[in-house]
Amino acid sequence: MKYSSTRDPKHKRTPSEAILEGLSAEGGLFMPEAMSLMSFPMADLPSMSVRDISVAVLSRFFDDFTESELRTAVSGAYDRAFPGGDIAPLQRVGEAYVLELYHGPTCAFKDVALSLLPRLLTTARDKCGVTDEICILTATSGDTGSAALSGFADVPGTRIVVFYPEGGVSPAQERQMTTREGDNIHVCAVRGNFDDAQSGVKAIFSDPPEIPGLRFSSANSINIGRLAPQIAYYFKAYRDLMAEGRIVMGDAVNFVVPTGNFGNILAGYFAKKMGLPVGRLICASNRNRVLTDFFETGCYDRRRPFHLTSSPSMDILISSNLERLLFLLCGAEKTAQWMRALREEGRYTLPEEAHAALRNEFSAASADDAETAETIRRVYEANSYLIDPHTAVGFCALEKWRATEEANGAPVVVLSTASPYKFSRSVLTALGQETTGNEFTDMQRLCEKTGIAIPEPLRGLSERPVLHRDSRGVSEMRSYVEQCAGGGK
């Protein structure tokens, strides 16, 4: 199988090369040329373990890996990161199901893919005969950074640089990054928002510093090695619904996905393309509703106020993975035109036929902070079930979608992307409780209020020494990378 760029089909790579490079030289994202031929063995799904499902998905994306190499990578990653065994428990909550994706080492859904990516990347490096050290560059809106640091810390032959928006992540998210130990890691706050950090990283990929013995790659979902592992938990959720007797093979299931960068919901669309009976994919946005407006109008317009919300991981105006969907819809030439327009003019508009094709697959709704808080309270009071603000955005979007003519009566799975304890201040406030102004004290108060245990990875977080205090302007990101990649600390 070959991969090509979403902006230029002449840029072709093997699967291992696509993982290793992360981003095409002209700024496009790598996509498998045989996507339409990938099919999951649905008849085997009821008897497959989570690891079997992951290997089956990955083997279709990375056919230059042997099954043994993939199984070793999957087992090694998940045995270490998810010692409890289940990477994504499915829970019934009211009239919906919740896929809990936050039981890994950093209590966020990014752990599922980022515990595996380092093993895929180092195997790809060996397959390509590369002896250079790999420097991972990552921009994060909150959870990717800590999960990437957890995955890559002290991995031989790698170095990782994480940029996050200063003041744009929760205190718990920031502390998870700034206290992370590892001789090969660098963490830096960016004086700007996530889009600034993400654009800065993309600019470095487009014109990387030339440092002998070192090459750059990405841990963001722009890297296909990060995105592909996320597809597996959609199949896993479907398997669990069959095991419960809620559905039989072939029944449709709807998925509600809180998303900002469009990677998590795109994984669900890929699962559908591979044969999973997906009904609707409901894209849930916060007050920065650029994706909701896009699906409703066909116009993507980032020229709008940027809002800091209670769901900071979705505080994004440039949704990078949407580019892959556009490529599948209209091809590389149109995609390149739209990405150029987005960069130069801040907007682009789909033709009516393309917009209609998207509306056949996706629904969209958004929630502001007041609606998010009310949803947290209502879900807890009705079900004694605690959700974080991002998951609450998903529940609110579900309620709005159910009130439309699109609702189809099929079972609904809401993807829960983070532990509520990563946002304890917002959750405590939503429950009508006084907060202390200290996120970590509020964790304990939330535990006392609900009787729900604080996840082990978040206990004692406030007492860990801060090891990373760097802060840079957007224009200084390149020189910071040069310093770190060249061995500086």
Q: Supply the residues annotated as catalytic.
A: 110
Beta strand 214-218 pairing with 3-5: unpaired
Nearest partner of 366 among 423, 421, 290, judged by Cα: 290
Is-contact 418 143, C-beta < 8 A? yes
Burial class (CB in 10 A: 0-12, 13-18, 19+), 222: buried
Query: What amino acid occupies position 417?
Result: T
Is-contact 481 137, C-beta < 8 A? yes
Question: How many other CB atoms are there within 10 angstroms of residue 306's CB atom?
Answer: 18
- Vertex 374, ends 369 and 377: CA angle to 5°? 130
Is-contact 257 244, C-beta < 8 A? no
Is-contact 91 137, C-beta < 8 A? no
Q: How far apart are the first and last CA of the chain?
A: 40
Kindly report the backbone phi and psi dihedral angles of residue 423, in degrees, each rounded to the nearest multiple of 5, phi listed first: -135, 45
Is-contact 87 104, C-beta < 8 A? yes
Query: What amino acid occupies position 135?
Result: C
Nearest partner of 38 among 281, 275, 290, judged by Cα: 275
Rounded CA-CA distance 5/12 in Å is 7
